[in-house]
A and B are shown apart, each in its own frame.
Chain A
Amino acid sequence: MAREDKLYKIWVYLQAEPLFWITLTLGAYLVGDYLYKKSKLNPLVNPVAISILIVSSVLLFLDVSYDRYFEGAKFIHFMLGPATVALAIPIYEKRNLITKEVKPIIFSICLGIPFAILITFYLGKFFGLSNEMILTMIPRNVTAPIAMGISELIGGIPSLTAIITIITGIIGASLGTFLLNVFKIKDMSARGFAFGLASHGIGTARAMSKNKTAGVFAALAMGLSGIATSLFVLIIIKLLI
């Protein structure tokens, strides 16, 4: 009894410390990464999705709130900003590749973004979603802070948009490689660009881990689609609703 008491006290102490949740997140990611490598880099075994599932299961099992978890995880989350700035370096190193493909880049943005908006709109209509819910879903392919801003602007629910945006990123990152292989897309810049446009930062992270050229084009697409979506969405919505 006394020993259990002590263990319980240690647990109460540890779970209140950021260190515990940072360690759990890193550990879960290592497991995800290990399984990914073990599966011979099967694109369907996505390290991010696996680690999210592991951490969520632990939280649910131990009945720990997300706020408590985030007290520790925020230190990992914090690095997202600097990591985004750091993307400037691979882009700079591959700048000659980018300037070579200016026309395809502009063309793909001008077709890809309206496609993304329209397909969400018509799928929403097809599944009978309310207009408010459709507007909430429309900006989901751009990076979360921009998506929330657009959602507010067009009359969606920004907090839901954030959730939907993250799911979009994870779906694109975990199923994208598989699908692009099915359609036999070989060009690394085209593959990367599609990842960045359709599933923002999470897609970019995915592309970056596979191939630096793909990663650079993904980062570029992520930035451009944020701007392009803000512009296109207002015009398209005026025409549709």
Chain B
Amino acid sequence: MEEQKKTKIMFVMRKPPHGSIYAYEGLEAILIMGAYEQEVSVVFIDDGVFALKKEQDTKPLGVKEFSKTFAALEDYDITNIYADRESLEIRGLTVDDLIIKPKLLEASEIAKIMEEQHTLLPF
């Protein structure tokens, strides 16, 4: 039987991890879609990069701390993880501040990858 072509699905994470549920429910969606053997990728842009910040403490907020789950993405075969270089830079962050090491890209490179996608899912 001919192998089915994989669908390219990219999660676009633009929102900060706290203040709304988008980053958290986005992560839940990433983990589930990762199990469907499609070509799933994730890009962190704008305040979305804060989701990857090390040493988050959500106790004062009284909400679940889920940043460490991003470190598990590789276990779900999601290895195409990108971040917008400029978004990190203008927030005073470097890759060393992050819990994982996304591939840093320029906006123009991200745009090119987005064009190749079948589906973009914004969170």
Partners in one complex: no
Footprint of B on A, CB under 8 Å? none
Footprint of A on B, CB under 8 Å? none
